[in-house]
Chain A
Amino acid sequence: MDIPFWNREIETAERSRIEELQLQRLRQTIGWALKTVLYRKRLAQVGINSPDDVKSLGDLRRIPFTTKDDLRVSFPKGHLAVDMADVLRIHSSSGTTGIPTVIYYARDDVDNWTDLLARSIVATGATSADVFQNMMTYGFFTGGLGLHYGAERVGLTVIPIGGGNTKRQIQTMKDFQTTILHVTPSYLLHIHSKLGEEGVRLEDLSLHRAFIGAEPHSENTRRKIQDLLHIEAYNSYGLSELNGPGVAFECVCRKDMHVWEDAFIAEIVDPKTGEVLQDGQEGELVLTNVVRRATPMLRYRTRDLAFLHPQGCDCGRTHRRLSRILGRTDDMLIINGVNVFPSQIEEKIMKIPEVATNYQIHVDKKGALDRLTVKVEIYPKLFLGEVSKLEALKRRIVEELRASITISPGVELHEPGSLPVFEGKAKRVVDERPKD
């Protein structure tokens, strides 16, 4: 098999060389981190006051974890390590309780990120001859712009169409003979189900590959996508706190995702004790970004459950492979690729006086797509017997949630006292999506 590389030297480097790079870059990152309000104090507490205090990679374990909550508390600039004049770009994601998290990128950071994506794209066998239709949302969300820049660097023809509008997606795939899609698995299946309606056959298209990410999916879903569309589907992993896509990507072997270890130090820890686990053991993925100056990120708790493969890969890359995401350690929901915390929904609907205190978040599938329905009880004291007021209430809930989580949910109104009452809020979520 002919294995394509973007940077063969780095991608196939000996482990010792990778670790040497990691240590050198970790030290540099510590220097950047010491400039932030977030890390200065907590590094000092473990005796790290300068990059020289980190002698080996083992010293990483002395550093406390960073959580999404830390980023929320340090919003907006507590974790910024450079002058704003040196910031080239900002990406942001909605927080669990209304306060967003923000990541700053200096020029070098965007450049490094772009390079990791170029590496990821080439690892799948894509070349400058490919036509790349980027169906991920552009904007604050990192999925769209990240792959866009990477694809341009490799020299693919990029179609920056963004998310949604299935009719236009299909027409564009046909008009420009798209060869690669970047898309969530559920949306890709949705598109497939609409091809017939648009009078388009697979033979009218030139699809070869899809980069699928932003939502968890099973091996069966990948197989289904490959069989239905006669393409190769490659898993992609990333999260906005660690740049976005390009943390880990599948190579032509399609047997789980290489973590680009010259840029990220990956650890798997016991989510309860924080103890670092062995390769092959399932636990929470913890990532340290060692090539980002504007927003250093040390030992970030991703809340994603996964494991690292102990053995190498047939492609010859030495960077360890990350399993697909097996679950979450928190109650985050991923709905059509969008991360949603139940607390975000609760915060919005509990502010509306006509809604009583009980509610339920219901997720299921409609066709290939996820469907979110928010069920609320109406508050009897504010019931005036008018349909127009009830319909306005529904619209208000939809608008509030669209503004906060970017998804328009279905809203069901229920009688007071009719929804099941639970003590923990996790029970308020009913997820009826098939696990496979």
Chain B
Amino acid sequence: MAKQLTIFVENRAGRLKSISENLHRNHIDIRAFTIQDRGDYGLLRLIVDKPNDAYLALADVGCACALKDVLAVSVPDQPGNFHLLTSALAADGINITDAYGFVLQPHKLGICCMEIEQSQLPKAAEIVRRAGFTVMEDEELYTL
């Protein structure tokens, strides 16, 4: 299962920079990121090449951060594919609590990262596979 690093960040100037600086210093390669904005704070969510190292580097300086399993699915860039994916999950009553997509260069590979309640994750992975998609394992995702 792919690992996502979630970091609590206050919404003020310079906070993201202090995180990117720390990751850069520790030679962490960011593959994808997204920010969930909540007004006074946000959650920075990262897919990185070395999630454990990144987590330790940030936790070491007192950051509030967490590693969690997410369902990362490769979705070939064709009309209707995202709909196929969501339909498969919906048919089995799986709720996607949060999701974001990105395209990995240079392969132009579409990836959909979904946060799903941890207890339902294995079932969701199975459903997605049955629907013909590829679930990215962590190493795969980080080394693409």
Name the B residues within 8 Å of A390 (CB-CB): 8, 38, 41, 43
A387-B36, A387-B43, A390-B38 as given contacts; A378 in contact with B66, CB under 8 Å: no
From B62, B66, B97, give the contact of A384 (CB < 8 A).
B66
Name the B residues within 8 Å of A380 (CB-CB): 59, 62-65
Which of the listed residues B9, B10, B15 has the most CB atoms from chain A within 10 Å of its own CB? B10
Interface check A56, CB cutoff 8 A:
no
Contact A412 B40 (CB under 8 A): yes
Contact A416 B38 (CB under 8 A): no
Closest-CB distance, B121 to chain A (whole angstroms):
14
Count, chain B residues at interface, CB 8 A: 22
Q: Interface on chain B toward A: helix, strand, loop, or mixed SS?
A: strand
Assembled-state Cα–Cα distance A380/B56 (Å): 12
Count, chain A residues at interface, CB 8 A: 18
Assembled-state Cα–Cα distance A236/B135 (Å): 71
Contact A417 B62 (CB under 8 A): yes
Contact A415 B63 (CB under 8 A): yes
Beyond the given pairs A391-B38, A413-B41, 7 more chain A to chain B contacts, judged by CB atoms under 8 angstroms and listed by A's residue number, are A380-B62, A383-B64, A384-B66, A385-B6, A385-B68, A387-B43, A415-B15
A and B contact pairs by CB, cutoff 8 A, 12 listed: A378-B8, A380-B62, A383-B66, A385-B4, A385-B65, A385-B66, A385-B67, A413-B10, A413-B40, A413-B41, A414-B41, A415-B15
- Closest A-B pairs by Cβ, 4 of them: A385-B6, A385-B66, A383-B64, A380-B64
What 1/0 flags go to A374-391 for Cβ under 8 Å of B? 000011100111111011
Instruction: Report the nearest B residue to A410, measured CB to CB.
Output: B40
Contact B63 A416 (CB under 8 A): yes
Assembled-state Cα–Cα distance A391/B38 (Å): 9
Assembled-state Cα–Cα distance A378/B40 (Å): 13
Assembled-state Cα–Cα distance A387/B97 (Å): 10
Closest-CB distance, B41 to chain A (whole angstroms):
5
Name the A residues within 8 Å of B63 (CB-CB): 380, 415-416
Name the A residues within 8 Å of B43 (CB-CB): 385, 387, 390
Contact B62 A416 (CB under 8 A): yes
